[in-house]
């Protein structure tokens, strides 16, 4: 695999839900930049498969089964962060739908909008712990999960990506590896002291009208 610039050298990165899609892309990018990665998820098989892939490429990673719906497990996963009394960085991957979204996504939008608000709140609470907390509102991205959603709930065929791309300004959907590169930047020292920011990673300008 080979370390690139080493932006995350000697860093330990916990990627919740990191066994596929954007999470897996972040894990791959982080390992390439020198991080040791712990991947969590509800199912062990996908996480172990990703860890094996990263190890075969020369990276260091472990898989940990954890259910984010379990508040105890979620809290325990990050409790070492404050106790160690050292700088750290948290990045929430949210969604551009947090700004409003489609009517049929109401529960999802409510949860993600809450996470956007929590980002600023937590960043303020932990700034003196030197823990930076930021968020990324991700636009339409080609992932395994999106493919399954399009097929199961929208009757999409094999060409749904091409049809979707034709309706987007840049002529294509976003890619997980592009998001992962941006996440690595935000997690690294290259992003400086920025904290409490929620950045729109999207090709549509939200709030603007033609």
Q: Identify the pLDDT of residue 22.
A: 96
CB 122 within 8 A of CB 90: yes
Q: Which residue stretches of the chain are H helix? A: 21-32, 44-56, 71-78, 80-83, 106-125, 144-153, 160-166, 176-187
What is the tens place of the pLDDT at every residue in 7-56?
999 999 999 988 889 999 999 999 999 999 999 888 889 999 999 999 99
What is the tens place of the pLDDT at every residue in 133-142?
999 999 999 9
Known active-site residue 108 = yes
Q: Identify the pLDDT of residue 71.
A: 82
What is the tens place of the pLDDT at every residue in 46-88?
999 999 999 999 999 999 888 878 888 778 777 888 888 999 9
- DSSP secondary structure, 132-180, as one string: EEEEEEE-SB--HHHHHHHHHHS---TTHHHHHHHTSTTSS-B-HHHHH
What is the tens place of the pLDDT at every residue in 118-169?
999 999 999 999 999 999 999 999 999 999 999 999 999 999 999 999 999 9
Q: Identify the pLDDT of residue 91.
A: 97
In the set 53, 55, 73, 108, the catalytic residue is: 108
Q: Identify the pLDDT of residue 2.
A: 53
């Amino acid at each position: 695999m080979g370390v690139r610039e080493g932006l995350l050298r000697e860093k330990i990165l916990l990627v919740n839900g990191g066994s596929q899609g954007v999470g897996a892309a972040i894990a791959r990018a982080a390992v390439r930049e020198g991080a040791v990665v712990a991947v969590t998820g509800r199912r062990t098989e996908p996480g172990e498969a990703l860890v094996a892939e990263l190890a075969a490429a020369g990276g260091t990673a472990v898989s940990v089964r954890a259910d984010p719906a379990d508040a105890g497990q979620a809290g325990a996963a990050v409790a070492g962060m404050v106790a160690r009394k050292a700088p750290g960085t948290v990045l929430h991957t949210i969604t551009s739908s947090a700004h409003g979204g489609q009517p049929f996504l109401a529960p999802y939008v409510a949860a993600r909008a809450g996470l956007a608000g929590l980002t600023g709140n937590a960043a303020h609470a932990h700034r003196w712990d030197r823990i930076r907390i930021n968020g990324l509102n991700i636009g339409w991205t080609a992932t395994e999960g999106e493919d399954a959603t399009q097929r199961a709930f929208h009757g999409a065929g094999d060409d749904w990506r091409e049809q979707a791309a034709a309706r987007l300004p840049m002529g294509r959907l976003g890619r997980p590896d592009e998001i992962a590169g941006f996440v690595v930047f935000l997690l690294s020292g290259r992003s400086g002291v920025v904290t409490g920011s929620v950045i729109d990673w999207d090709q549509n300008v939200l709030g603007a009208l033609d």
